[in-house]
Amino acid sequence: MSTLAVAKKDFQDALRSKALWGLSVIFILLSLLIAYVFAEFTTEMGIEEQTAKGLAYFLASQIGLFVSITAIVIAYKAIAGERESGSIKILLSLPHTRRDVLLGKVLGRSATLVVPTLIGLVAGAALGTALMGEVAPVALGALLLMSLIFVLTYISIMVGLSALTGSTSRASMLTIGFFFVFELLWGGVLVGISWISRELSFVSNDPEWIYILAQVPPSAAYTTGLTALIPGDIGLADETAADAFYQTPWVGVVMLAFWLVVPLAIGYRQFSKADL
């Protein structure tokens, strides 16, 4: 119950963020625009078989950037801010353990981000469905489920990083650094690894294990995991077809599970030993 009490208070506090609502309005409007453009594009091109599933993937394409940036905005101070201001001592003077505080922060900030995410996706899906005159309930259900998991995962990462330090400036550096490395620069890292591997092996093709490294960014794992939950394919699944047992879209789900647990566990370990 202590965890839920912390989560409830944290949810109410996070809702006051003007930056959150500014980003949320942009995301909702963008979802509607993307759904409209997709519906008009598929109608003009005469694509009928994959339209409903394609809408789910098309909407998913914008989730990564919105969730990652918004998660940084609302979660980088989750623990570091409380420690820097000294309010963490008041919070822990109540019947809350450090684990309660950490998990409560994750649940509270996740609930805060879930609200605009679901509104944007539902609004976009509703508009696209109305314009196309068809619906893919399984695909859209998978989109909503994976988006909820993705939100929880990214908030868990940000709160875990925030728990590593008692300085909001260092927390911002850690969270923004994570975004730059794993969301913006990772493609370049893969190119470098691929080139070195081909040079050392004297082959022209990328090694099969590069597929796993490609799923390291949480947003990439989210998109790949979505492919695993939607029956059939719209062309994305074929790209992952290979002989290696690990070249499956379910690797994306496994990678999300890794990001959900490991950074938070590391953050809790550091937070539990910190001198407040």
* pLDDT confidence bin for 1, thresholds 50/70/90: low
Per the domain annotation, does 192 fall within a domain?
no
* pLDDT of 212 higher than 50: yes
Rounded (10°) angle between helices 218-229 and 51-60: 160
The whole-angstrom separation of Cα 64 and Cα 69 is 9
Question: What's the pLDDT at 203?
Answer: 64
| Residue 205 within a domain | no
Q: Over 90: is that where the pLDDT of 159 sits? A: yes
Higher pLDDT, residue 176 or 87: 176
Residue 91, in any domain of the structure:
yes
pLDDT of residue 236: 41
Higher pLDDT, 156 or 11: 156
Query: Is residue 210 domain-resident?
Result: no
User: Is there a domain that residue 189 lies in?
Assistant: no
Q: Write the pLDDT tens digit of every residue in 214-263.
A: 999 999 999 999 988 887 655 444 444 456 667 788 899 999 999 999 99
Higher-scoring residue by pLDDT: 1, 88: 88
**Are 60 and 126 within 8 A, CB to CB?**
no
Q: What amino acid occupies position 94?
A: L
| pLDDT for 172 | 95
- Give whole-number Cα distances, 3 to 31, 65, 80, 95, 110, in Å: 33, 29, 18, 10, 13
Query: Is 68 within the bounds of a domain?
Result: yes
Q: What is the per-residue pLDDT for 43?
A: 54
Residue indicated by tokens 């909702």: 28
CA–CA distance, 29 with 20 (Å, rounded to integer): 14
- Per-residue three-class SS string for the chain: CHHHHHHHHHHHHHCCCHHHHHHHHHHHHHHHHHHHHHHHHHHHHCCCCCHHHHHHHHHHCCHHHHHHHHHHHHHCCCCHHHHHHCHHHHHHHCCCCHHHHHHHHHHHHHHHHHHHHHHHHHHHHHHHHHHHCCCCHHHHHHHHHHHHHHHHHHHHHHHHHHCCCCCHHHHHHHHHHHHHHHHHCHHHHHHHHHHHHHHHHCCCCCCCCHHHHHCCCHHHHHHHHHHHHCCCCCCHHHHCCCCCCCCCCHHHHHHHHHHHHHHHHHHHHHHHHCCC
Q: Does residue 136 carry a pLDDT above 70?
A: yes
Task: Report pLDDT digits (tens) over 42-98.
Answer: 655 555 554 677 888 888 888 888 999 999 999 999 999 999 988 888 888 888 889
Residue 77 lies in a domain: yes
Task: Write the single-letter amino acid at 223.
Answer: T
Nearest-5° angle of CA 205, CA 220, CA 181?
Answer: 90
Structure tokens at 80: 């570091």
Token pair belonging to 37: 């453009």
Q: How many domains does the chain have?
A: 1
Q: Which structural domain, as residue segments, surrounds residue 245? A: 2-184+215-273
122: in domain:
yes
